[in-house]
A and B are shown apart, each in its own frame.
Chain A
Amino acid sequence: MAQDKHQKASSAGKSQEGRGGNEDGGGGSEADDPHKSVSSGGDQSGETTETGGEKESVADDFQGEMEKGELERVAGFDPSNALAEGQPASMVTDEMTSLRDADELIPEFTSIETVCGRDDRVRVSPCTAMPWRWICQLFITMPNGAGFRGTGWFIGPRCVMTAGHCVYSKANGGWARRIEVIPGMDAANRPYGSAVGTRFWSVTGWTNGENQNFDYGCIILPTPLGNTVGWFGFANLNDASLRGMIANNSGYAGDKPIGTQWFNSGTVTSLTAQKLYYMIDTYGGQSGSPMWRFANNQRHAVGIHAYGGCPNSSTRINAQVFNNMMSWRNL
């Protein structure tokens, strides 16, 4: 039953409420916990719980109430291009497991573009299959009138994950005034309509200090659009699982026709307790897009893309991020 799956979450070896080691140095007292969640309405969460250490935590995806079971394929995406750049890409099928280890490949990190080396991005169209319809174009309006485009993705009926800087920017007046969320947007087509979010969450590590390590947040929609389109699972994986992992990314790149979604994949080349780094091609407009693992027909986000730079980087879904996402997804 779908509703059961909405609530499904597991933590290998430890409950969600349990506390463990602090792998990030992001803990400490409640007062200075940079993962303490805060909302645009002034709400604050309690102290974040930690599942920490080498334990892994997983919340499963939901296919939506429309249809189930598509294979994830992107016409025109050539994984050999990414291999030539030193990144083993895949067609996002189970064949990914047969790819060579990243250590065997020669990196080619010579370009000074956010599109790293050869541009391997391919357009996703239409965006009505999974997981593309879970991914949303964002039209962001900040309090000072500045407008941005970004990307978000559903993790629950009304919760759309994105980068912290998409929902809060001190320089642009603080919390966003409004963000229009358009799942599966494909050029002028809005197959599921849109919703406007005016309620946002992030964490104090971002809203107080704009520390890149804590650059994540979410949009709470007034309507449960996620029940229609479905949503990503997400996972707090340990270093061994993440290092060299094939990761997928898709988002609304600003150098392409407005409202078009672009896919790329490659390996996680390095990581810290709070960030993932990769040479997967991205561009402005893809802030907030999901970095996800596809395995056993499940899609689990492991990072929230936020920064360009070759390597490009995302906020890692570590134990504290995972726990906040678990709290936010049912708001």
Chain B
Amino acid sequence: MSITIEGNVTGVMETFPLQLKVEANGVSHHVTLSDRTRVTFRGAAVDPGLIMPSTKVRIDGRGPAGSATALAAESIEIISA
């Protein structure tokens, strides 16, 4: 199931790849990055280490059936730091 969310990062769990908590529309989402996740800022690819709490992001990913709050990120656009 394809999912797009836009919200603010509330937690950066430092596994590798990272796992994020992202608050979007009042709902907390668990976002799992993979080594294929593309992270961009102003159109350029950047290191996922730039993602910080309070960073505003737009995330495209896929979620498992039956869960609206977990997604595996395919791309993350950093909207504002």
Q: Does A226 contact B (CB under 8 A)?
A: no
Q: Do B72 and A146 touch across chains, with their CB atoms under 8 A apart? A: yes
A52 at the interface (CB under 8 A from B): no
Give the chain B neighbours of A149 by CB distance below 8 A: 15-16
| Contact B15–A150 (Cβ < 8 Å) | yes
**Alpha-carbon separation in the docked complex, A55 to B43 (Å):** 53
A166 at the interface (CB under 8 A from B): yes
Report B22-54 residues with CB < 8 Å from chain A CB: 30, 32, 34, 47-50, 52-53
Tell me if A283 counts as interface (CB < 8 A to partner B).
yes
By CB atoms of chain B within 10 A, which of A146, A171, A286 has the most? A171
> Is residue A163 contacting chain B, with contact meaning CB distance below 8 A?
yes
| B52 x A114 contact (CB < 8 A) | yes
CB proximity to B under 8 Å, residues A82-119: 112-115
B64 touches A144 (CB 8 A): yes
Does any Cβ of B come within 8 Å of A236's Cβ? Answer: no
A172 touches B32 (CB 8 A): yes
Per DSSP, chain A at the interface is loop
Is B18 close to A, CB under 8 A? yes
161-189 of chain A: CB within 8 A of chain B = 163, 165-166, 169-172
Given known contacts A148-B17, A163-B13, A284-B17, A171 and B30 CB-to-CB distance under 8 angstroms: yes
Contact residues in B for A53 (Cβ distance below 8 Å): none
Q: Do B11 and A284 touch across chains, with their CB atoms under 8 A apart? A: no
Q: How far is the CA of A147 from the CA of B13 in the complex (A)?
A: 14
A285-B15 CB under 8 A given contacts A169-B30, A171-B30, A171-B32: yes
Q: Is A135 an interface residue (CB 8 A)?
A: no
The verdict on A307 contacting B17 (CB below 8 Å), with A113-B50, A115-B49 known, is no
A-B CB contacts (within 8 Å), total count: 89
**Alpha-carbon distance between A172 and B81 when the two chains are bound, in angstroms:** 27
Q: Are A285 and B50 CB-contacts (below 8 A) given A169-B19, A171-B32, A171-B67?
A: no
User: A146 vs B38: C-alpha distance in the bound complex, in angstroms?
Assistant: 17
How distant is B66 from chain A, measured CB to nearest CB, in Å? 12
Q: For B48, give the chain A residue with the smallest CB separation.
A: A284
Please encode chain B, from 48 to 76, with 1 for each CB lying within 8 Å of some chain A CB and 0 for all others.
Answer: 11101101000000001001011010000
The distance in angstroms between the C-alpha atoms of A325 and B55, with both chains bound, is 34
A and B contact pairs by CB, cutoff 8 A, 10 listed: A112-B52, A140-B15, A149-B16, A170-B70, A210-B30, A252-B16, A285-B14, A307-B14, A308-B14, A309-B52
- For the complex with contacts A113-B47, A285-B15, A287-B14, 10 further pairs of A-B residues with Cβ separation under 8 Å are A112-B55, A114-B14, A146-B72, A169-B19, A210-B30, A255-B49, A282-B14, A283-B49, A307-B13, A308-B12
Residue ranges of A at the interface with B (Cβ–Cβ < 8 Å): 112-115, 140, 144, 146, 148-150, 163, 165-166, 169-172, 210, 212, 215, 252-255, 282-287, 305-310, 312
